[in-house]
Amino acid sequence: MINRKMKRRVLLAFDTFAILASSILSYIFLEPYISLLTRDFWIALGLSWVFYLFFALRFHLFFKINRYTSIRETFNHMAAVTLAFFAASLISVPFVESISLRFMLLTYLFSVALIPGSRIIWRIYNEHQQKLKELSVHGEITQKVRTLIVGAGQGGSLFIKSLQRHDFEVELIGIIDDDSAKERMTLYGVPVIGKVENIPELVKLHEIEQITVAIPSLSPQELNEVVEICAQTNAKVNQMPSVEEVVLGKYEVNKFKEIDVVDLLGREEVKLDMETIAENLSGQTVLVSGAGGSIGSEICRQIIRFSPKRILLLGHGENSIYLINKELMNLHTNTEIVPIIADIQDRERIFKIMEQYKPDRVYHAAAHKHVPLMEYNPTESVKNNVYGTKNMAEAAKAADVQSFVMVSTDKAVNPPNVMGSTKRIAEMIVTGLNEEGKTNFVAVRFGNVLGSRGSVIPLFKEQIKNGGPVTVTDFRMTRYFMTIPEASRLVLQAGALAQGGEIFVLDMAEPVRIVDLAKKMIKLSGYTEDEINITEAGIRPGEKLYEELLATGEHTDRQVYEKIFVGKVNNLPIEEVMHFVHGLEMYSDDELKVKLVDFANNKHKQTEDVEEDMENPSVIFAQ
């Protein structure tokens, strides 16, 4: 391997030789017709070389990786040669006696053939060598997968080109595209043979084994429509990776990506108010609790894009904090990243962290979120969701944090369970602590997050992998769904809009039936419902058939940003909330369940017995 400096010298030497060879060839061809003096020959050659060197340096031609020469690079080479010979001709033809325009033009044509042409030949040679290398690794492929590509646009073009260079296990039979102008045309030798609606008949006619969607710009709804048509066939359905996934190194361009149910249930990406968010985060110290979790880690990924001064990654799980810290450190930004292992239940530790780092913004995502597990462990739910949130919020207020954003859930609305009740009480604490002129406290409420650790999707995937059955708690059950990136972006946007004391509600669109979700996943996995059964398991402790984003009386049409509303939430006085919270340690688990649900739904009664018990609270929980 030659180094960069040596490579540039070789390219300069080659191009110099190419101009010299072109001049000599032109002289030989034109000798019978023109009389060219030796001195004038060298003058023309010298002028051509000097001007070429100037334009080659101007276009950075000696700094290109020539084995990846593209149309743009070829154009730059041709532009440099053209400009060089045009400038040389302007000087030599009028002022040098024996130099003719024919000589300069012929020399130019030979130079174009040799200089840009050499780069194209070098690329072709390298691609051929790469194919031979890959064949030696994979061996001769006897059975290729007959594949149909959906999309003859830029995405399809890039994908097909990459497949033809590197993938020897695929036989491209044809392309599907709804653009009538592309019908019967070819793309890199692959014919456009029909439209999306023709897929079922084309699969039968051409014995297609695999259908690949190569349109990265498809909306989830459009992708869903294509998948529904493909589901009428027995062919495997997948898609090309997105540009973002390629850039992040998750996939190579020529690799097939399984279509995930997340791709079908996602929505159009919300355009954020980047300027407002940047003002909110740039140059700031930001603390994220639960930073190793699904939502917390994505909030960190979104925040770092706005160049904060420092991100504090606070979490109880050592491994999860290690992973997100490692990921963010690999981005090589100027943001200081501080991993902090701490339990939000440790009041003294949380206060010390807030006092030490003095964060400007806090995003509180740490919580216990699993509904059935919290039904069995109400004490732990109170310790983490109620007292942990109380610790975080009061520590933030003591440290003069500018804004505190709590990540809440739709399960806090009319909660019949422990988890939802503790989150509703946490909302009461956070919004109740808001005071004018001090820390802005807000909560952001949304539904289930696709792909999170507590999501039903990983469970369904595992059940399908094991051959079924897929268990749905109740065929009538519906849930709101949102992707992790969308939820995290909207949390940042809501935080930037916060005035203090609000509960922001994210527009979750239409709820999805869980049984329909299971059916989609079975189809995407290449099975039918006859092969993988769906069974009803019954509602688990604490679960609701239908989730809500707003309780009765909370509904509002006040939209403060796209997909963000402010709920009309009427909280109890903060003194009453704290009075209730301080007495929770005195109850048994069974009593806790009742007390939490009643209080969260404003059905509680302060009896004289409770008042009496409040006089001697234990210190099991930090207060």
Question: 556-580: per-residue pLDDT in tens?
Answer: 556 667 777 787 666 788 889 999 9
Q: Is 142's pLDDT higher than 80?
A: no
Q: Indicate if the pLDDT at residue 80 is higher than 80.
A: yes
Look at residue 224 and tell me whether its pLDDT is greater than 90: no
- Backbone φ/ψ region at 268: left (φ over 0), alpha (ψ -120 to 50), beta: beta
The pLDDT of residue 215 = 84
Whether 137 contacts 109, CB under 8 Å:
no
Which architecture characterizes domain 145-259 according to CATH? 3-Layer(aba) Sandwich (3.40)
Q: How many residues does the chain have?
A: 623
Which residue is catalytic, options 383, 390, 411, 595?
411
Predicted local distance difference test score (pLDDT) of residue 411: 86
Please name the residues in contact with 353: beta carbons below 8 A apart, sequence gap of 6 or more.
287, 312, 314, 340, 342, 395
What pLDDT does residue 324 have?
A: 95
DSSP 52-87: HHHHHHHTTGGGS-GGG--HHHHHHHHHHHHHHHHH
DSSP letter string over 407-423? EEEGGGSS--SHHHHHH
C-alpha span between 481 and 464 (Å, rounded): 21
Give the CATH fold of the 279-448+479-507+546-600 domain: Rossmann fold (3.40.50)
Question: Comparing C-alpha atoms, which of 2, 8, 48 is closest to residue 24?
Answer: 48
Amino acid type, 577: V
In this structure, what DSSP letter does residue 193 have? Answer: E
> Can you tell me the distance from the alpha carbon of 31 to that of 476, in angstroms, rounded to the nearest whole number?
91
Burial code (b: 16+ CB inside 10 Å, e: under 16) for 101-128 equals: eebbebbbebbbebbbbbbbeebeeeee
Query: How confident is the model over 277-310, as pLDDT tens digits?
Result: 888 899 999 999 999 998 999 999 999 989 999 9
Specify whether 544 is catalytic: no
CA separation for the pair 550, 282 (Å, rounded): 33
The strand pairing partners of 210, in sequence order, are: 147, 236
Alpha-helical segments (H) within 339-417: 347-357, 371-376, 378-381, 388-398
Burial tier of 461 (Cβ tally within 10 Å: 0-12, 13-18, 19+): middle
pTM (2 decimals)?
0.65
Between 346 and 65, whose confidence is greater? 346
Indicate whether 172 pLDDT > 60.
Answer: yes
pLDDT for position 282: 92
Whole-angstrom distance between the N-terminal and C-terminal Cα of the chain? 67
Q: What is the pLDDT of residues 435-487, one digit of tens each?
A: 887 899 999 887 777 666 666 777 888 888 888 888 888 888 877 677 788 78
pLDDT digits (tens, 9 = 90+) for 240-259: 765 444 444 444 444 566 66
Q: State both tokens at 86.
A: 């045009």
pLDDT tier at 384, thresholds 50, 70, 90: very high
Strands 361-364 and 470-472: unpaired
Query: Of the given ranges (197-211, 356-370, 536-550), which has the lowest mean pLDDT?
Result: 536-550
- Residue intervals of the chain classified under CATH 3.40.50.720 are 145-259, 279-448+479-507+546-600
